[in-house]
Structure formats: structure tokens, C-alpha cells
Structure 1
């Protein structure tokens, strides 16, 4: 099954980070294809913090999955250059819409 995943954390983005990593690992282990992971809302903090950004970069390298951080949310959180400097692609909702069209299922993790 092809999955498009939006991570849309609220204030407790650290807990969402742990949940998202575990869930995505389970999907991969069960041979599901993740067409893309889109960081939205407060989840943009996950890719701009030292520890969590390293976790995500390692996960991306291991699983060869496309990941994009929402440019609008980075601007709202005043983190635009942080994500780019750490090596995460930044884009708008067009990337998310494209993945949704490719996926069999769409999931939002909050």
C-alpha cells in the first residue's frame, strides 16, 4: 500500500515525533511504501532541533523516502533558514497534493 503521511503536531511536538517515528518504522517493516512525509504545523520544530533533526535525517537515509517541510509553517514559526541549513527540503502544499494523488491512503499524524 502506498501512503502519504502528514505530520501535523500541536504543542506537544516531541511526543508526536516519537509516535511518528515508530509508526513509520512499522509501515516500512510491513512493506508499505511511503510516497512522502510532509511536516506541517508545529511539527516543523522536529526538523529544526538538533536531536530530532538527526533522527529524521538518519531515517530518510535508511528508507529513501521523500520528506518536505512546509515553507509557510516555517515562516510562521520563524525557522525558515534552520530547516534549510540542516538539509531538509522546503516546499509548499503542492508537494503534499502530489503525494496525495499518488497514494492509496492518506494519513495525518497529530
Structure 2
């Protein structure tokens, strides 16, 4: 999956626990009718991918959705989701799947190999 938009915020890398787990969060604002502010986290060696980007940059981020279960002390199951980035790149100036413009033709030339005595077998 991917998220495309403008970087609103990039946090510093944070380290947790004795294992040295590293995490860095960023927020991307999507460019759509109802813009969404999506928090994406980069973990471990992927935290350095954000070093080359600044707030305000237009980016395309490849993401994975992650979910996990946690059982609280009362025995109830709680569920958490996270959005984890694994690649980021500058967004293209134009739409990525845009069809290139076609030049207008002033005159139409019919094909030379069409015979006028062939029957018209079109159903409409």
C-alpha cells in the first residue's frame, strides 16, 4: 500500500528499552477532497530514510498495516493498529498514472485499405 501527500511533521528518532529498539514518526497530509493526517512510523534501520526529507515535501510512502493484541490485567483483549513505512520517495510533479496529452488533429484521413463494397455487419 502507499500514502501520497505532504509531510506535515517529522519527529526525532526515539530509542526504547535495553534492546535499543528505534522508532521515528512522521505525519503526512493527503491531498484529497477530505485531507487526512496519517501518522506513519519507521522502525529500526528504516528511521534513517527520513533524514533526506523535510516538512513540506511532497512524498509517496510505501506502508504496511500492522495489528496486535494485548491482554490487559483484567483479562480483556485490546487491539492496536500501526502504519509502518518501509520506503519513501519524492512525489512526481504530475499525477503518477496520468495519461499524456494527445495532440489535436486538424483533419481526419480514412484508412486506404477499407473497401466500400464490404457489408456492414455491426449489430447497431
TM-score (norm 1): 0.21
TM-score (norm 2): 0.20
Higher relative contact order (CA 8 A, sep 6+): 1
Higher fraction of strand:
2
Q: Which has the larger radius of gyration?
A: 2
Higher fraction of helix:
1
